Structure 1
Amino acid sequence: MSRLQVLIVDDEWNMRNLLRIYLMKEGFQIKEASTGQEALTLVQTHSFDVIILDVMMPDMDGWQVCKRIRELVKTPVLFLSARTETKDKITGLDIGADDYLTKPFDSEELLARIFSLIRRSVMNQAEIPQPSRVLRFPNLMISPEAREVRICDDLVEFTQKEFDLLAALAQNVQRAFTREELVERLWGYDFEGEFRVVDTHIKNIREKMHSAGLKYNPIQTVWGVGYKFHISGDADEK
């Protein structure tokens, strides 16, 4: 059986060395990058099971690197950073990372999160594709397959997690989801962040829709529960 491949991206040699020693003991095959550009080159020339990514690096920060990685591959990305504020965790997850762990970290927790990401990735790849359909509402079109949203025929850009959240709600019109259910759908059962991350994404989605010219709010707050997708009779259908 081939060994699992991990890419460690961190500008500090001591941290890369620590991670390399620990993960190699656990049977992983390791490659390292000390800069964002070096990481992107490796991602384009090698196949990895998990990418461990620092945020603060000299040439391009982890946010930029993660965005570029997401344009290239779907490999699980775990941010490992000294930045501990909730807004940093939300930013990391919002731009496409799959998990966020702060330094200093417990080695056993890191290993558990890595294996969790790998299991989730394998399960996602094994899922049987379901027929996709374009979701059409007044002045709003959502294409899950193309991952596109059009409002008044204009393409509107959403982040990966914003789109996933919007699509999950739109595919289940009138169903009320709790924040916990939405977090499980988007980040998995082992997500350890704040469930209020959903509120931040909903706020961003609503603002983008309003700015794009949508005259109604299709994402309704269900007080004491969470959110649902609902089109009222007052929706502007021009």
Structure 2
Amino acid sequence: MRIRFRWARRHQMIDDEQRAHILDGIRRDVPRALLIDVQQDFPIGAQQAEISVAASTETTAGGVILSRKRQSKAVGLVRHQVFDEMFEKAIVRNGGEFVSRVKVEFGSDEIRELPVYLTTGRFGGTLVGFASHRDADDAPVKNATRLALCSQNRGLDADLFRPLESFTDRERFVVIMVQRDPFAIGKLASISVGVADTKVEQFIVLEKIEDFLAGYGALREAPKRGIALRPVSRSFKDTIAGTESDQAEG
């Protein structure tokens, strides 16, 4: 009973048709190869982070052995940077465009452009980033960049005062959620693909990456809108001054 309550609290209630529409919209824009890269590379990155922290103790004369809590925090910091590098390379490899700014609506008559400090790729009309969570249904850590990105999902979440929009009505933000194994610091428990609400408090849709990948073979009729992809040669780090990263999770 407790599990059902937590799931309902963390996920919005949408019907199967709307859920399928959102998931299909993501698949039309985001290359399957990008998600396969993430699925294959991130577990290796998690292992690399653990080994790098352990090796620093073993190879440093007079180095101290970290407590499990401190080791977990140190690995979390390294893991995020390794994932960030892997994700950046995957965006370039799959023809994405790095995002440095997004338009955010403030009220009904004001739109501002806000900077994006987390590695984010644009594929068609879909923005893609990654984040970590402790539990499989936890929303990503809330910060200024993620609020700006998730504001692009306005109209997909349930609202009694306006109809639900099409996934292709505007740019949308998809977040790849990574959950580490609570019993093994160098392993991952799950990788999921989700769309969070504008408050970054719950998911509109969330699906395990293996299930999401399986859906690429059953796409419905494509929407009329089409956006051409532009090749990218510069690194995300070269396009933005400053940085903003998640707090490492133990």
Fold similarity call, TM over 0.5: no
Q: Structure 2 length normalisation: TM-score?
A: 0.25
Tell me: higher relative CO, structure 1 or 2? Use CA pairs within 8 A at least 6 residues apart: 2
Given the two structures, how large is their TM-score scaled by the length of structure 1? Answer: 0.25
